């Protein structure tokens, strides 16, 4: 399961999504902090159908092995575009 939340501002749509089990946790490595804040990532619980929300977003912010894997499989991001912090994958996708 995934947790996701849609944020709208200035006519732009940001989709924040994470693996449900890491919601609310913070990961730090080498001075870099990945903070999976519930107020940013959590709004709705979804399964693999979450990928259907990707085309509606201008910016996609994802964290977690499962959601990032789904995005890679769907061609939304390459493995080179993924950063790992404490072995937790994180990616930001900007749709131009």
Domain spans, the chain:
2-94
Average pLDDT over residues 70-87: 97
pTM: 0.95
Tell me the pLDDT tens digit for each residue of 15-71: 999 999 999 999 999 999 999 999 999 999 999 999 999 999 999 999 999 999 999
Distances (CA, A) of 28 to 31, 35, 46, 78, 88: 7, 8, 27, 23, 10
Q: Which CATH number fits domain 2-94: 3.40.50.1100, 3.20.20.150, 3.30.1860.10, 3.20.20.70?
A: 3.30.1860.10
Residue 96: which pLDDT band, with cuts at 50, 70 and 90? confident
Give the pLDDT confidence score for residue 32 in this predicted structure.
96
Joined tokens for residue 11: 């006519």
């Amino acid at each position: 399961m995934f947790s996701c939340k849609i944020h709208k501002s200035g006519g732009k749509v940001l989709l924040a999504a994470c693996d449900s089990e890491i919601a609310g946790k913070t990961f730090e490595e080498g001075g870099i902090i990945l903070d999976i804040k519930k107020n940013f990532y959590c709004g709705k619980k979804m399964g693999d159908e979450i990928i259907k929300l990707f085309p509606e977003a201008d910016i996609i912010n994802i964290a977690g092995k499962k959601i990032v894997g789904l995005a890679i499989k769907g061609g939304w991001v390459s493995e080179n575009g993924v950063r790992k912090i404490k072995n937790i994958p994180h990616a930001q996708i900007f749709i131009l």
